[in-house]
Structure 1
């Protein structure tokens, strides 16, 4: 399928009312948006399959939904640092940030490097991307030991005072995700949440309370990664 053919499909699905709805309902404001729901883009992506060349061409059109589609058809193992840096600097809302972070970045060999780098960034959605990768990596990496994930707790603690909505939500997301990886990390995440609860900032208070509410609730679903260890206990 050519880039022009995909763009023709996207323009056929365009709906200005959906642009308005997504902004009002989800706070998604996007440049050059056609107004297409994620579920419809998934159908197109499934028809295309992985196609790195087409993905890059679609991203470079500057059309918002074409960029979202890029995140669904680019093969994660082929992503380069140059592409990651190019793409992350264009993120303007949580939807596209999370789509790339979850679909491509967290599954790449550069995931850990970008977690350590981007969580220190100043730009809101570059920083969110770092924490979104962190949160997603808990499921993308099913074999690493707890030591790898425990190194993320100091980062979470140091950035818990960021008051920006989409940063604090991503910090919270990462904390909860690590805490649901296995029973031992759950205990540590609860301990870290209680430490963050002592901070004075409203963002830290919200992050900690929301994380504790989920991590301590009865029946919380906790995974068993790495299974080589936790399936035996």
Structure 2
């Protein structure tokens, strides 16, 4: 792999040039197999991007420039190199409005936004969005925080469950799947949240068809599985 450009160099131009050299048509063709509707992709694998990002280090200005390029892999790199402490509410809203495929949405939420102290306040705002990927971002963020924010109190997750319940009626597939993953992630966090998530899932499963019923049934299938119950019981015992 080509070495990462020096941070004292031209920055984004060097990175974009590396992406151009590294990309392949085969990798571009693979994106559609995963339902990734990326704009003007280079064709660089996520594995290569993660390795390359380590060489770039943390660079907020570079992240902004890469994001502004609008190119798929450049935006993934932006999430990997940005500094969550420098991320602002405005940046989060602008980037969320730019989300145009599930891979960028989920990567930004899991690799960057969930590490920002501003993350929790974005969930209820984005959950009301009409934009498909901004709305998915709300639940990708809740999903990610369920996994990564070890210090968060149960109450903040419980407050998000009504958002899950309302958004479950959205029939758009990528919103539906994001809501489902968020509900399951909350329910797997601990015994108390498991009970709250199961109650939400049961209400959804009892609705008459549509995405709400699908989410409820799908979530219950995992949350009430012996494997999940054993893991939660073991964690409770310490």
- Normalising by structure 1, we get a TM-score of 0.92
Contact map agreement 1:183 1:222 (CA 8 A) in 2: no
The ranges of structure 1 where at least 4 consecutive aligned residues each deviate by more than 6 angstroms after the TM superposition are 230-233
SS at 2:73 equivalent? helix
Aligned counterparts of 2:168 and 2:66: Cα–Cα separation in 1: 35
Are 2:200 and 1:192 equivalent residues in the alignment?
A: yes
| Superposed counterparts of 1:84-99, under 5 Å | 84-99=92-107
**Equivalence for 1:14:** 23
Relative distance call for 1:214 and 1:189 in structure 2 (3 A) is same
TM (norm. structure 2) is: 0.90
Distance 1:231 1:77 in 2: 33
Q: CA deviation at 1:139?
A: 2.3
Per the alignment, residue 46 of structure 1 pairs with 54
- C-alpha contact 1:161 1:201 (8 A) present in aligned 2: no
Tell me what 2:80 maps to.
72
- The 5 A counterparts of 1:163-174 are 163-174=171-182
Aligned length in residues: 227
Conservation of the 8 A alpha-carbon contact between 1:182 and 1:222:
no
User: Which runs of no fewer than 5 residues in structure 2 stay unpaired?
Assistant: 1-5
Say whether the 8 Å CA contact 2:190–2:236 is kept in structure 1. no
Per-residue deviation, 1:231? 6.3
CA 188–96 in structure 1, closer or farther in 2 if over 3 Å, else same: same
Gaps of 5+ in 1: 225-229
Matches within 5 A, 1:116-195: 116-195=124-203
- Out of 40, 43, 49, which is 1:35 matched to? 43
Match of 2:3 in 1: none
* C-alpha RMSD of the superposition: 1.7
